[in-house]
Amino acid sequence: MIVTVTPNPSLDRTYEIPSLDRGEVIRAGGERMDPGGKGVNVSRAVAAAGRPTVAVLPLGGAPGALVADLLDAQGIEVAPVPVAGATRSNIALAEADGVLTKINAPGPELTPAEQESLLETVRERSRDADWIACCGSLPRGLAPSWYAELVARAHRAGTRVALDTSGPALLAALRERPDVVKPNAGELAEAVGRPLATVGDALKAAEELRELGARTVLASLGADGQLLVGAEGTWFASARVDAVRSNVGAGDSSLAGFLVAGGGGPGALASAVAHGAAAVQLPGSVMPGPANLDPAAVTVTAEIPADRLLTEPAP
């Protein structure tokens, strides 16, 4: 059982367009509407893998009701926390060449009572959970220490926590020693305060996050692969991808793949990369199922290519 926590969920609309031309009328070739938010996507990917999951999220207004309906239609159990503000609506424009432009709304501001209700709902729904996956940015009203409090409460209850966030919220949570953190290259660079140009730079940054408190670091380097750095060892993995269609939710799918495969070791890393590679070849934020995975396209090694330049250096 994997419980996901999405403090700032969304209703996501994705339009496939030939190109993004400013000031012009653009006719979309395809349209999708999906429940959004990083934790929501993790639940969707876990469900696609045939594993049980509960999505805990604050929901408000008509967009919130629609998010709940869409998740229910996918067979995902929802533990809603009613809030006064309306759930945000986001727009993604996917061009034919794979470039994605996203417009993300800020979302509602949660009151202190709503914040505590969210924590209490996580506690109630995670009693039998193997993992709690805490994902995404914090909405207005929540202090950067909110995730740290959630991690502390989860550990007191004996539950493992995977954390996928960035900035002050990530740094604050590290002191509570989350079991897994999943930054991308940009978030790694931000956390250590310097640019990353090579896989070796990313490895050093991941090691520094462990020194700050993270027990395991699963670092996504985009098209260049992923690093897994923990007490049991360090591995690097990459996958062959034939064509990128949309990278929306690919990192969330990757985290789901890591957790459903046990949440540690090279086997879980291979699962993470296979799920992420499958996700980028699907439209919108569609989460891959077993039929979409290609384990043979994944390579895992303990030999870290430290000198390899990152395709997209992290500033």
Q: Do 177 and 155 contact (CB within 8 A), yes or no?
A: yes
Q: Bin 88: left if φ > 0, else alpha if -120 < ψ < 50, else beta.
A: beta
**Alpha-carbon span 154 to 38, nearest angstrom:** 19
pTM of the predicted model as reported, rounded to 2 decimal places: 0.93
Q: Please, is 6 exposed, middle or buried when counting C-beta atoms within 10 Å of its C-beta (0-12, 13-18, 19+)?
A: buried
Which pLDDT score, from 0 to 100, does residue 27 have?
A: 94
pLDDT tens-digit profile, the chain (315 residues): 999 999 999 998 989 999 999 999 999 998 888 899 999 999 999 999 999 999 999 999 999 999 999 999 999 999 999 999 999 999 989 898 878 898 999 999 999 999 999 999 999 999 999 999 999 999 999 999 999 999 999 999 999 999 999 999 999 999 999 999 999 999 999 999 999 999 999 999 999 999 999 999 999 999 999 999 999 999 999 999 998 887 878 999 999 999 999 999 999 999 999 999 999 999 877 899 999 999 999 999 999 999 999 998 988
What SS3 state is found at 17? strand
CATH code assigned to 2-314: 3.40.1190.20
Q: What is the pLDDT of residue 286?
A: 86
The verdict on whether 252 is a catalytic residue reads yes
Task: Kindly give the pairing relationship between strand 131-135 and strand 2-5.
Answer: parallel
pLDDT confidence of residue 146: 97
DSSP β-bridge partners for residue 227: 219, 236
Work out the widest C-alpha separation in the chain, in whole angstroms: 55
Which residue is listed with tokens 């991941």? 206
CA distance 225 to 9: 27
Predicted local confidence at residue 53, as pLDDT: 97
Rg (CA), the chain: 18
Residue in 34, 164, 201, 252 annotated catalytic:
252
Domain assignments of the chain as residue spans, ordered by start? 2-314
pLDDT at 254: 97
What local confidence, expressed as pLDDT, does residue 248 receive? 78
Within its chain, how far is the Cα of 58 from the centroid?
17
- Tokens encoding 75: 């067979």
Q: Which residues contact 251 (CB under 8 A, 6 or more apart)?
A: 38, 164, 182, 184, 220, 276
CA-closest candidate to residue 307, choices 204, 150, 199, 214: 199
Neighbours of 295 (CB within 10 A): 11
Nearest to 151 by CA among 188, 113, 119: 119
